[in-house]
Amino acid sequence: MESNTSARETLAALDADRAALAERTRMPAWYHALVGVTAAALVLLGVAPDTWTSNLMPVVLLAWIGLMLYPPRRSGIGTSSWSLPVLLLALGFLIALILVIVLVNVIAVETSLWWLIVPALLAFGAGWLLSVTSERTVRREVTRER
């Protein structure tokens, strides 16, 4: 049987292990930036006047989905509930992105293309935020006792 001190140390060690495991799921900054860049690229390509550039959109969309589904440092750890909130968040993000593209296409038809930098920057920020939120959801899941 355990003494009080020994039991406390054991519980603290379990906490430390979970923290170490959660740390393994921390994404590098370049990953968040890449998710943001692909989101911004989707907006820019969605309103691009040239056909060949807008043809790139499915490729970038696939790249974005790939980044979300296969993050670089999450391999080897499978969590059960991170998929639902993150997938819902990602779905909401995609719908918002499509709405932005449609809106920009409607509004910016007659205006300068330089104006597009605003929604592109917003998409970059939202993509970055989505990536960070997704990472935090996973880390919370790993450290949380169910």
If one asks whether residue 29 binds another protein (CB under 8 A), the answer comes out as no
Q: Which is nearer to another protein, 49 or 76 (CB)?
A: 76
Burial 21-35 (b: 16+ CB within 10 A, else e): ebeebebeeebbebb
If one asks whether residue 12 binds another protein (CB under 8 A), the answer comes out as yes
If one asks whether residue 15 binds another protein (CB under 8 A), the answer comes out as yes
Residues numbered 74-93 forming contacts with another protein, rule: CB under 8 A:
75-80
> Residue 116 and residue 121: Cα distance in Å, rounded?
9
Q: Which is nearer to another protein, 53 or 143 (CB)?
A: 143
If one asks whether residue 20 binds another protein (CB under 8 A), the answer comes out as yes
Answer whether 105's CB lies under 8 Å from 47's CB. Answer: yes
